Amino acid sequence: MPFSARHFDGLSSAARAVRVVADAGVLRLLREDGEIHIPLSRARIGDRLGGAPRVIYLEGAGELHCDDHAAVEALARRLGQGRMAARIFRLESRAWIAMIALLFSVAAAWLGLRHGLPLLAGVAAALVPPGIEAGMGKQTLAVLDKLVFLPGALPAPRQEALRQRLRAVCLKAGNCPAWRLEFRGGGKLGANALALPGGTPVMTDELVKLARHDDELIAVAAHELGHIRHRHALRQGLAGAGVVLLAQILVGDLGSIGDLVSGLPVLLLQTGYSRAMEREADAHALALMRRTCLPPHRFADILRRLDASHPGSRAAVTLFSTHPETRERIKVFQVQELVTRGC
């Protein structure tokens, strides 16, 4: 079926009106002053997009622009081209499919960020060699030493005794990752403990002072070892970077507005991840304590005292606080206390 089109020869910007006839094996462009023949094998039909004119690219002979969509579709079918593109065009043409795509995108974004990304981060973390992770830990400690921590005031024998105790517990439990326990003055952090990537739990002097029993400190160390064992610091870093990247790549159109808007969800998700990670670390501490016959209430005790020593980080900010509500966590350890028997 012949159709009208505008021909550009690719050499100049001149437009020429032509009639296009698809014959056996050739595309004939009929002009007032003659005829051009182009082998059909050299014609590539451009994808249909909205109401835009269709373009047929003629290898080495410029292009045809045409408003007769039916004729171009017929030619594409005949050439066996653009089936996929035609399908995508049909998807883009229907309002109800757009609605489904919208609902799907929102749901997928939510699920993907909530569950998919942490999973991916876990897989990616497994690919990071332990040596690099250890290097990261060393760097982080150096930065914290400069910005937050004060030199530790805990006497060396006391430090060594605690390390000795943890070593003994780990030997008995058998599921500790490699670790190097460090002690520092807490500075702004006060009584606290943290797990740096690569196997370095750090306790502040204030925390040691807060404890009324060494087993409380062992319980905290077991919690931090849980973070280390599951490589939480690394996974969180990877997941955070992933959120920003995904937003950029998928939406793409947002530009700088996107950065503004994506900042908050990133923050919320980060806290969400951290809560799941705290629970995982708690579970590790609990398992270790039960295996070594340490009473679980030791962890609950120090947690309660920690909670009291950090006023301001209580009920009012539970939504944003990194640790799951402390009362809830304490309850878990108290319930376990009742079922822990046979030691």
Partner 1 sequence: MAEESRIYPFQFTGNGGEYFRIWIVNLALSVVTLGIYSAWAKVRRKRYFNNHTLLDGHNFDYLADPVAILKGRVIAFGFFLAYALAQKFLPWVSLVLLALFFLATPWIVARSLQFNARNSSHRGLRFDFRGDLGEAFRIFVGWGLLMLLSLGMALPYLLFRKTAFIAGNHAYGATRFDFQGRAASFYGIFMKASLIMLAPLVIIFAGGITLASLDHEGPVGMAEMIGALGMGLLLLYAALPVVMGYVKARVARLTFLGTRIGALGFAGRHTARALIGLYVSNLVLIVLTLGLYIPWARVRSARFWLNNLAVVGPEQGLDGFVAAAGAGLAATGAEMAEAFDVDLGIA
Residue 248 interacting with partner 1 (CB under 8 A): yes
Q: Give the one residue of 4, 81, 140, 340 binding partner 1; rule: CB under 8 A.
A: 140
Instruction: Kindly list the distances between the CA atom of residue 274 and the CA atoms of 114, 227, 267, 323, in Å, as whole numbers in the listed order.
Output: 12, 10, 11, 7
Q: Give the one residue of 11, 156, 338, 339 binding partner 1; rule: CB under 8 A.
A: 11
Residues in the chain, total = 343
Residue type for position 252: G
Interaction residues for partner 1, span 38-97 (CB under 8 A): 46-47, 49-53, 55, 62-63, 65, 88, 91-95, 97
Nearer to partner 1 by C-beta: 7 or 329? 7
Bridge pairing between strands 182-184 and 200-204 = parallel
Torsion angles phi and psi, residue 37, rounded to 5: -115, 130
The gap from C-alpha 264 to its chain's centroid, in whole angstroms, comes to: 15
Instruction: Compute the least distance from the CB of residue 189 to partner 1, in Å.
Output: 18
Q: Report the distance separating Cα 159 and Cα 162, nearest Å.
A: 5
Nearer to partner 1 by C-beta: 200 or 326? 200
Binding mask 227-246 for partner 1 (x = CB under 8 A): ------xx--xx-xx--xxx
Q: Report the distance separating Cα 172 and Cα 205, nearest Å.
A: 26
CB atoms within 10 A of CB 210: 19
Binding mask 27-46 for partner 1 (x = CB under 8 A): -------------------x
Q: Report the distance separating Cα 325 and Cα 275, nearest Å.
A: 9
Instruction: Compute the least distance from the CB of residue 79 to partner 1, in Å.
Output: 19
Interaction residues for partner 1, span 160-219 (CB under 8 A): 197
Nearer to partner 1 by C-beta: 21 or 136? 136
Residue type for position 66: C
Residue 254 interacting with partner 1 (CB under 8 A): yes
Q: Report the distance separating Cα 243 and Cα 142, nearest Å.
A: 27
CA angle 165, 171, 173 (to 5 degrees): 100
Binding site residues, partner 1, CB under 8 A: 6, 8-15, 46-47, 49-53, 55, 62-63, 65, 88, 91-95, 97-98, 100-102, 104-105, 108-109, 112, 135-137, 139-140, 143, 197, 233-234, 237-238, 240-241, 244-246, 248-257, 259, 261
